Structure 1
Amino acid sequence: MLAGEGAVAIWNDIAKAGRAEFYAWHLHEHMPERVGIPGFVRGRRYRAADGATQPEFFTLYETSSFQVIQGSDYLSRLNEPTDWTRATTAHFQTTTRSLTRVVASHGVGSGGAMLSVRFDIADDAVHDMVPRLTSALEAAARLPRISGAHLLRSDAGVSGQSTAESKDRKDLLAPARWVVLLEGCDVDAFGAALALLQQFTELREAAVGRYLHEHTRLKTAWQVG
Structure 2
Amino acid sequence: MNESHRGLLAIWSTIAPEAETDYLHWLTREHVFERVSVPGFCSGRVFKRRDSKPSEYLMLYELDHAEVMSSEGYLTRLNAPTPWTQRIMPTLMHFRRGGGTLSHEAGHARGHGSHIAIARFEDDIPAALTGERLDALAQLDWVVAVRVMRVQSDSTSISTREKSMRRSEEGAFAGLIVIEALDRASLDRAVTAASRDVPELDGAFQLHDAVFGSHR
- TM-score higher than 0.5: yes
> Residues 18-29 of structure 1 correspond to what in structure 2 (within 5 A)?
18-29=19-30
2:116 maps to: 114
Mark the CA change 1:2 to 1:213 in structure 2 (over 3 Å): closer, same or farther.
farther
Partner of 1:174, secondary structure, is coil
Cα distance in 2 between the residues matched to 1:2 and 1:21: 38
8 Å CA contact 2:90–2:165 kept in 1: the answer is no
Paired residue type of 1:11: W
Paired residue type of 1:32: F
Task: Please report how far the alpha carbon of residue 58 of structure 1 lies from its aligned counterpart in structure 2 after TM superposition.
Answer: 0.9
Could you tell me which runs of 5 or more consecutive residues in structure 1 were left unpaired when the two chains were aligned.
Answer: 220-225
Structural RMSD (CA): 2.3
Identity %: 26
Cα distance in 2 between the residues matched to 1:133 and 1:2: 13
1:90-127, Cα deviation, whole Å (9 max, x unpaired)? 211111111121111111321110111111344xxx6x
Paired residue type of 2:67: Q
8 Å CA contact 2:47–2:208 kept in 1: the answer is yes
2:51 maps to: 50
1:196 maps to: 194
> Residues 69-80 of structure 1 correspond to what in structure 2 (within 5 A)?
69-80=69-80
1:15 maps to: 16
Does 2:83 align with 1:86?
no
Task: Please report how far the alpha carbon of residue 48 of structure 1 lies from its aligned counterpart in structure 2 after TM superposition.
Answer: 1.7
8 Å CA contact 1:187–1:211 kept in 2: the answer is no
2:168 maps to: 171
1:61 maps to: 61
1:28-63, Cα deviation, whole Å (9 max, x unpaired)? 1101110000110111101122248x8611110101
Mark the CA change 1:157 to 1:13 in structure 2 (over 3 Å): closer, same or farther.
same
8 Å CA contact 1:119–1:179 kept in 2: the answer is yes
Cα distance in 2 between the residues matched to 1:63 and 1:12: 20
Paired residue type of 2:116: M
Mark the CA change 1:165 to 1:104 in structure 2 (over 3 Å): closer, same or farther.
same
Mark the CA change 1:77 to 1:2 in structure 2 (over 3 Å): closer, same or farther.
farther
2:156 maps to: 159
Paired residue type of 1:191: D
Number of positions where the alignment pairs a residue of Structure 1 with one of Structure 2: 212
2:143 maps to: 146
Paired residue type of 2:119: V
- Taking structure 1 as the reference length, what is the TM-score of the superposition? 0.85
Paired residue type of 2:37: G
Among candidates 180, 185, 188, match of residue 183 of structure 1: 180
Cα distance in 1 between the residues matched to 2:167 and 2:83: 18
Cα distance in 1 between the residues matched to 2:75 and 2:196: 38
Paired residue type of 1:113: H
Task: Please report how far the alpha carbon of residue 129 of structure 1 lies from its aligned counterpart in structure 2 after TM superposition.
Answer: 1.6
Task: Please report how far the alpha carbon of residue 213 of structure 1 lies from its aligned counterpart in structure 2 after TM superposition.
Answer: 0.7
Could you tell me which runs of 5 or more consecutive residues in structure 2 were left unpaired when the two chains were aligned.
Answer: none
